[in-house]
Structure 1
Amino acid sequence: MPAFALAHLRNPQINEDVLTYLERIQATLEPFGGRFLAHGPEVEVREGEWPGSVVVLEFPDRQQAHAWYDSPAYQEILPLRTRHIDASAIIFDGVGPGFEPGQKAAMLRAQAATG
């Protein structure tokens, strides 16, 4: 099942550190099968607030996402971003083939009934 890393970037300060981070991040992803799905697109806010931009990465699975984030190569460049951009970052699983939200609702109803 694919896994994703999502970063919500706020108040970016583009400078030499951030540019170096951008130049080096791709090489940190490749050994773990990671790839960009979105990187700083213009967002259209439909509900709530979303100051800043978004980055979405895809990995073959959660293990590879964690291995990338914890890798010496990524940890070496991470401060180049975190010193200059406020962000929240999460890793999460995608859904498998055949995911049905109605089945999820039934499971949640059953849990609530026994809970």
Structure 2
Amino acid sequence: MTTYAVGHLHDVNVGPDIVEYLCRIDETLAPFDGRFIIHGGPVTVMEGSWSGDLIVIAFPDRDRARAWYDSPTYRRILPLRTENSRGDVFFIDGVSADHRAADVVAKLPVADQPLG
């Protein structure tokens, strides 16, 4: 199952360290088959509010995502980002191509109670 490394970054200090991080991150992804799906950019807010930048990197599975994050090559450049921005970073699994929203009902804590 595809796993996504998601970063929601704020207050990015775009200076020499961030430029170096951006120039070096691709080489850290390649051995783990990671690739950018979303890398910042303008958003059109339809509901609620939004600030910051969204980054999404896809990996073939959670083991490779974790191995990338823990790799010595990535750990060497990580401070270039963490010392020049703030934000949240997490892993989340994707869903299968045939997934439907109702598939999650059985996993809800109140799945045995009728809706509505």
How far 1:43 sits from its partner (Å)? Answer: 1.4
The alignment yields a C-alpha RMSD, in angstroms, of: 1.5
Q: Which runs of 4+ in 1 moved over 4 A?
A: none
How far 1:48 sits from its partner (Å)? Answer: 2.6
Count of residues in correspondence between the two structures = 112
Q: Percent identity?
A: 41
Matches within 5 A, 1:1-115: 1-105=1-105, 107-108=106-107, 111-112=109-110, 113=112
State TM-score, norm by structure 1. 0.90
One-letter code aligned to 1:25: I
Residue segments in structure 2 that go unaligned for 5+ positions in a row: none
State TM-score, norm by structure 2. 0.89
How far 1:62 sits from its partner (Å)? Answer: 0.8
Structure 1 or 2: more helix by fraction: 1
Encode CA deviations 1:36-66: one digit per residue, 9 max, x unaligned. Answer: 0111111122233321111110000111111
One-letter code aligned to 1:51: S
CA distance, structure 1, for counterparts of residue 97 and residue 73 of structure 2: 32
Encode CA deviations 1:3-52: one digit per residue, 9 max, x unaligned. Answer: 10110110111111110000000000000000001111111222333211
